[in-house]
Structure 1
Amino acid sequence: MSESVDVVLIGGGVMSATLGTLLKELQPDWNIVAFERLGEVAQESSNPWNNAGTGHAALCELNYMPNADDPSKAVGINEQFQLSRQLWSSFVDRGILDEAETFINATPHMTFVRGEKDVAYLRQRYETLKEQPLFQGIEYSEDSRVINQWAPLLMNRRRAGEPFAATRVPSGTDVDFGAITRQLFRHLEGQGADLRLDTEVKKLKKKSDGTWDVRYRRRVGGATGTVNAKFVFVGAGGWAIKLLQSAKIPEIKGYGVFPIGGQFLKTTKPELVEKHRAKVYSQAAVGAPPMSVPHLDARMVEGEGSLMFGPFATFSPKFLKTGRWTDIVAQVRMNNLGSMLKVGATNLDLVKYLVGELMKNFSKKVDSLREFVPTAKGDDWELIQAGQRAQVMKNGKLQFGTEVVSSADGSIAGLLGASPGASTTVSIMLDLLSSCFPDQKAAWEPKLQELIPTLGQKLNDDAALARQATGITAEKLDILG
C-alpha cells in the first residue's frame, strides 16, 4: 500500500526548493516529499559551476532587447528578478536563508561591444533604458579610459582605432543558486518535509480520484515504492519532458526538447580575479542560442573569487549532465516528431554554430577569450564542463525561454526550458501557484503580500516605488552598488 502526501516535488534544484518553501509558508500542515535522483541537491543546472550565476535582470543581456527602442521584454525580466530579490530578503529576515553574502554578492553588470553597428545599437539601447526607473544608474561610455576603470582586463592592449562601447550598471549581482537551493531544502527538512536522495522517479500515473501515484526506485539497492500525491511538481530539468510524457497529460503533446551543453574557461588566479569585478556580456554569434552569448563573469562561490568565460556549446543527447545517452530518442512521439523535424530543417544557423563550437580545441577557445581579454594566457585558465540545457521545441519552433506545462485540473505541473531560468524562479512559481491552486489563492494572498511587499504592482510604472523597493532589498541583501 502506498503512502499518501499532499505534495511531491521531483528534482532537487532551485525550482523545487523555492516552490516547496513557498508551500510550507502558505500551508504549514501540508506533507511534502521531494525526490532527487543524485546523492545531493543542486547538482545539475542549479549548481554554481553549471551556470554563470548571473542574476538575470536584463541589465547587460542584449538578447532581452533585440530592438534598441523597445525595452518591454527587458523591463519584464527585471520586474521578475525584483520578485526574487524581495522573497530572498524575506527569507533572510525569517532565517530561512543564511546571511545574504552566502548566496548573493554585488557585481556590476556590463555590456561590451565592438564595431560601428553594435556601438550604434548599444548607444541607442542606453538612451532607451536610462529613462526606465528599474534601470536608473546605467552608465555608457566609448572612452577607453573610462571602460578601463570599469574592467581593466577588457582594455589592456586593445587595438587602437577600433570602435567599442560599454554600458555598466553598478547594482548587478552574482548569485550562487546552489547555495540557495541547499539552504531552502535544509529549511524544508527542518519543517518536516521528506527529502529522498538517490531516488529516481520512474513513472507517474493518475488515479480515478484525481491524485497521482509516483513510482520510484532507489538507486542504491534498487528498492521500489509508490507515493500517492494530491499535487506533483516536475522540476527535473531536461528530464521533465520524460516524466510529463509518462503522466500522459494531453497538454504535453507536441512538445520536444533539444539538449545543448556548455563549457567555460575558469581561473582563480588572484591577479586576474582582482582586475575584473563585473559580469560582461556581448553580442551572440550568428545562430547561437541566447544562453551562448559570450560573457566574462566574476564569480563568488563559497567565499572564493574566480572568473569564468564562455559558454562554449557542446552537444550530448543527454537531457541532464548525468542523464542517459538515449534521452533524445526516448522523447520521440508521433505527436511531436513532425515539429522536431521542422525545427531541425529551419535552424541551420544553429546547426552550423554547434558544429563550429564542437570543432574548437582548447587553443581556439582561448583565442575566443582574447576577444574579451587581449592579454589572456592559456596557462592561466582551465576548461570546465557546465550543465545541460534542454531548449523547448513546440509547433515547429525552437523556443529559448522557460515554460510551465500543467494539467487542466492543476494537479500536476512541470517546467521546460532554460534561460533566464533560476533568476526568475520566484515569478515562475507565483504563476504556478495561481494556475494550480485557484481555490487557495485568496487565502494565500495576505501571506504572499507579506513575503513580497510589491506583489501585483509594476515597479517600472512608479519611479518612487521602484527606488524604495530596490533600495530595501539592496540593503537587506547587502548588495548596494
Structure 2
Amino acid sequence: MQEYHNVKLNNNCYITQQIFSSNTNTIIPIDIVLIGAGIMSATLGMFIKILKPNWTINIYERLKKPAQESSNVWNNAGTGHAAFCELNYTTQKKDGSIDINKAIKINESFEISRQFWAFLVKEKILNNPASFINNVPHMSLVWGNNNIDFLRKRFQALQNSILFYGMTYSENNQEINKWIPLVMDGRNPHQKLAATRMEIGTDVNFGEIAKQLLDALQKDNNVNTHYNHIVTKIKRNNNKWIIYVTDNNNNNAQQKKIHTRHAFIGAGGASLPLLQTSGIKEIHGYAGFPVGGQFLTTHKQNVTLKHLAKVYGQAPIYGPPMSVPHLDTRIINGQQILSFGPFATFNSKFLKNGSWTDLFSSLNRHNLLPILQVGCNNLQLIQYLIKQLIMSKQDRFNALQEFYPQAKLEDWKLIQAGQRVQIIKKNINKTKKSLLQFGTELINSSDNTLFALLGASPGASIAVSIALELIHKIFKQHINTAPWDNKLLEIIPSYKQKLDNNIILTNKIRRNTCSILKLKNIEIQQIKYLMIKQ
C-alpha cells in the first residue's frame, strides 16, 4: 500500500502526493489525525489551529457529511448540560444528604464551553448564536412523596453554590402551572408535585456548532477533511502512529496508510473498537454496552408554542441516566418543536450507522470477564431494557401523558435518536466487581500521543473542557508559559480559576458570554445570595 497525503490547493481542490523529507527520503508525518467529524474533533481541531496554527491536521469521517452521529441535532436531546435539571447529577448519600459535587463540576465545564463559543463568535468563526444556542428554561418535575422530598433536599443543597443562584422551587400547583401550562392542563388538581426552574437553561444544536467549526477549519491550508473515509485500524510505528484508512468515494475503494505524530479518536461508539486495534495497554479491561433511544416528537404549533422548557423527571428504578424521561422544547433551524423520551432501544451496533457485528468484534480476552460481571450484577437494568423493548405504541403514549395529560396520539411521531455506548471497565480495586459507568471518559496512551473519548452524556456539553484536557497533555511543554496562559485566558477568561464561590468572577464571565451569545443572565446579588444560603 502506498503512503500519501491529500494536499490542498488554493482553489480548495486536492491532489494526491507523497510527502518526503528532503534529507531522508521518508514520509513526513502529519501532526495530528482527528477521527470523526463531530463536535469533539471539531472543538479540538479549532483549539489546535488557534494555539498551533502551523500544525497539519487530517480529519477522517466515515459518513458523507459532518456531525451525522451523536452530534446530529436529531440524535441527542440538545440539553446544554449544566446540572440545572438533571437529577442523576446529584446523588443522595446514605445519611440522606445530597452530594452536589458532580453538579458543580458539570456546571463549571458547561460555562467553559459557553466562554469558548462566545470567543469564537467574537472572532467571527461561529456565526449567528441563535442558530446553535437559545434560552430554554431547565426544570425538574417529580411526584410521589419520596421524589418530592429528594427534590426539596436537592434544591436546598444547590443553594450552597452560587452557580445555581436564581433557581426557584415550588410545590404549588398554580405556580407550576404558570411555568408549564401544557404539563398541568388536565392533570388531577390534587396530585402532589414539586418542581425546580432555572430560567437561564439552554437548548444547544451541537451539530450546527460542529459544522461551523469544520467549515472554518476547512479554509486553512494545513487542514484536510476527508468524508466517506473509514479508519479501520491504528498501529504504532516507532514514535509515530499509522492510521489505516479506506477511501470509499469511488467504486474501487482505496486503502491508505497515514503517518501521524498524534491521533484523537472522537468517533462516538466507534472509539472503543478503534482504540482496541492500537494495542495500548490502557484499553485493557474496557468494554462497551450499546444503548439506543427513541423520541416522540411533534411540530404542531398549537402544542409546541404552549410549552417553553426542558422538563426532566426522575429515572425509573434501575434505569440508566439516559432513561430519565423529559419533555423538551427544541429550537431547530429557528423552529420550535417538542420531544418526549427517551425510550430505550438495543442492538449490537456501536453507531447508528454502524455494523451489527460491532459489539461482538469488540470482545476479547481482556474485557470478556468485566462484561460478564456487569451483566450478572445489573440484572435489574437488563429487565428494564427488556420492558422498554417490548413497549407498544400505546405504552409510549401513556408515558407521554404522565407529562402531558392532554396529548393526542395523532400529533406525535416516533423517531430514532442516536446510539450510545456505555463504558464497562475493570475495577482498579481487584476485590470489587467490574463497573458499568455512565458518563464520559478520556483514555490516552502513556506517552500522550493517542487519545480516545469513550462514553455518553454529558459529552458534547463539556467538549471544550475535554479539549482543554487534551491540550494540556499534548502540549505539556507550552502549558504554564506566559504566551500560552495569556492566549488561553483570552479564549477562556476563567482559565485556571473556579467560578463556584467567586461571585465577582462568575458575574463577569456570565455577563460577557450571555451578551455575546444573546442569552439571558441572572446577576448574582451577594447579600441576597447569603440570605438564601442561610
Counterpart mapping for 1:232-311 below 5 A: 232-311=263-342
Report the counterpart of residue 189 of structure 1 in structure 2. Answer: 218
Q: Give SS of 1:51's match.
A: coil
Residue 41 of structure 2 corresponds to residue 10 of structure 1: no
* Alpha-carbon distance in structure 2 between the residues aligned to 1:111 and 1:97: 31
Report the counterpart of residue 410 of structure 1 in structure 2. Answer: 448
Q: Give SS of 1:306's match.
A: strand
Pairwise CA distance, 1:291: 1.2
Paired residues of 1:140 and 1:168 also in contact (CA < 8 A): yes
Per-residue displacement from partner, 1:55-113 (whole Å, max 9, x unpaired)?
Answer: 00000000000125321111111000000000000000001111111100011000000
Q: Which amino acid aligns with 1:129?
A: L
Counterpart mapping for 1:314-329 below 5 A: 314-329=345-360
Report the counterpart of residue 154 of structure 1 in structure 2. Answer: 183
Q: Give SS of 2:263's match.
A: strand
Report the counterpart of residue 206 of structure 1 in structure 2. Answer: 236
Q: Which amino acid aligns with 2:229?
A: T
Pairwise CA distance, 1:160: 2.7
Residue 179 of structure 2 corresponds to residue 138 of structure 1: no
Q: Name which of 385, 389, 392 aligns with 1:358.
A: 389
Pairwise CA distance, 1:442: 3.3
Pairwise CA distance, 1:258: 0.3
Report the counterpart of residue 477 of structure 1 in structure 2. Answer: 517
Paired residues of 2:349 and 2:359 also in contact (CA < 8 A): yes
* Alpha-carbon distance in structure 2 between the residues aligned to 1:344 and 1:125: 31
Per-residue displacement from partner, 1:257-304 (whole Å, max 9, x unpaired)?
Answer: 000000000001001111111100010001111011000110011111
Deviates more, 1:286-295 or 1:11-20: 286-295
Q: Give SS of 1:161's match.
A: coil
Pairwise CA distance, 1:461: 2.1
Q: Give SS of 2:82's match.
A: coil
* Alpha-carbon distance in structure 2 between the residues aligned to 1:248 and 1:106: 44
Report the counterpart of residue 426 of structure 1 in structure 2. Answer: 464
Q: Which runs of 4+ in 1 moved over 3 A?
A: none
Pairwise CA distance, 1:435: 2.2
* Alpha-carbon distance in structure 2 between the residues aligned to 1:425 and 1:245: 23
5+ residue gaps, structure 2, are 6-28, 427-433, 522-534
Report the counterpart of residue 128 of structure 2 in structure 1. Answer: 99
Q: Give SS of 1:383's match.
A: strand
Residue 57 of structure 2 corresponds to residue 37 of structure 1: no
Q: Name which of 431, 434, 448 aligns with 2:488.
A: 448
Pairwise CA distance, 1:231: 0.6
Paired residues of 2:151 and 2:194 also in contact (CA < 8 A): yes
Per-residue displacement from partner, 1:189-232 (whole Å, max 9, x unpaired)?
Answer: 01231110000011111111x11111100123301112111110
Report the counterpart of residue 256 of structure 2 in structure 1. Answer: 225
Q: Which amino acid aligns with 1:447?
A: K
Pairwise CA distance, 1:384: 0.3
Deviates more, 1:95-104 or 1:458-467: 458-467
Deviates more, 1:154-163 or 1:365-374: 154-163
Q: Give SS of 1:445's match.
A: helix
Report the counterpart of residue 64 of structure 1 in structure 2. Answer: 89
Q: Which amino acid aligns with 1:19?
A: L
* Alpha-carbon distance in structure 2 between the residues aligned to 1:435 and 1:5: 18
Per-residue displacement from partner, 1:137-168 (whole Å, max 9, x unpaired)?
Answer: 00011111111111111101111322101000
Deviates more, 1:404-413 or 1:152-161: 152-161
Paired residues of 2:443 and 2:451 also in contact (CA < 8 A): yes
Q: Give SS of 1:339's match.
A: helix
Deviates more, 1:255-264 or 1:465-474: 465-474
TM-score w.r.t. the length of structure 1 is 0.98
* Alpha-carbon distance in structure 1 between the residues aligned to 2:224 and 2:486: 27
Residue 48 of structure 2 corresponds to residue 23 of structure 1: yes
Q: Which amino acid aligns with 1:2?
A: Y
Report the counterpart of residue 75 of structure 1 in structure 2. Answer: 104
* Alpha-carbon distance in structure 2 between the residues aligned to 1:219 and 1:355: 37
Paired residues of 1:317 and 1:325 also in contact (CA < 8 A): yes
Report the counterpart of residue 413 of structure 2 in structure 1. Answer: 382
* Alpha-carbon distance in structure 2 between the residues aligned to 1:390 and 1:164: 34
Per-residue displacement from partner, 1:409-451 (whole Å, max 9, x unpaired)?
Answer: 0110000000111001111111121123312323533211110
Paired residues of 1:130 and 1:137 also in contact (CA < 8 A): no
Paired residues of 2:91 and 2:100 also in contact (CA < 8 A): no
Q: Which amino acid aligns with 1:391?
A: Q
Paired residues of 1:216 and 1:226 also in contact (CA < 8 A): yes
Residue 79 of structure 2 corresponds to residue 54 of structure 1: yes
Q: Which amino acid aligns with 2:409?
A: G
Q: Which amino acid aligns with 1:202?
A: T
Report the counterpart of residue 340 of structure 1 in structure 2. Answer: 371
Q: Name which of 205, 218, 223 aligns with 1:176.
A: 205
Pairwise CA distance, 1:10: 0.2
Residue 334 of structure 2 corresponds to residue 331 of structure 1: no
> Superposition RMSD on alpha carbons, in Å?
1.0
Identity of aligned residues (%): 45
* Alpha-carbon distance in structure 2 between the residues aligned to 1:49 and 1:345: 33
Paired residues of 2:287 and 2:363 also in contact (CA < 8 A): yes
Pairwise CA distance, 1:176: 0.1
Deviates more, 1:120-129 or 1:231-240: 120-129
Per-residue displacement from partner, 1:26-45 (whole Å, max 9, x unpaired)?
Answer: 00001101000000000000
TM-score w.r.t. the length of structure 2 is 0.89
* Alpha-carbon distance in structure 1 between the residues aligned to 2:508 and 2:150: 31
Paired residues of 1:410 and 1:437 also in contact (CA < 8 A): no
Q: Which amino acid aligns with 1:48?
A: V
* Alpha-carbon distance in structure 2 between the residues aligned to 1:281 and 1:301: 20
* Alpha-carbon distance in structure 1 between the residues aligned to 2:513 and 2:227: 33
Q: Which amino acid aligns with 2:459?
A: G
Q: Give SS of 1:461's match.
A: coil
Paired residues of 2:173 and 2:189 also in contact (CA < 8 A): no
Q: Which amino acid aligns with 2:495?
A: L
Q: Name which of 399, 406, 414 aligns with 1:368.
A: 399
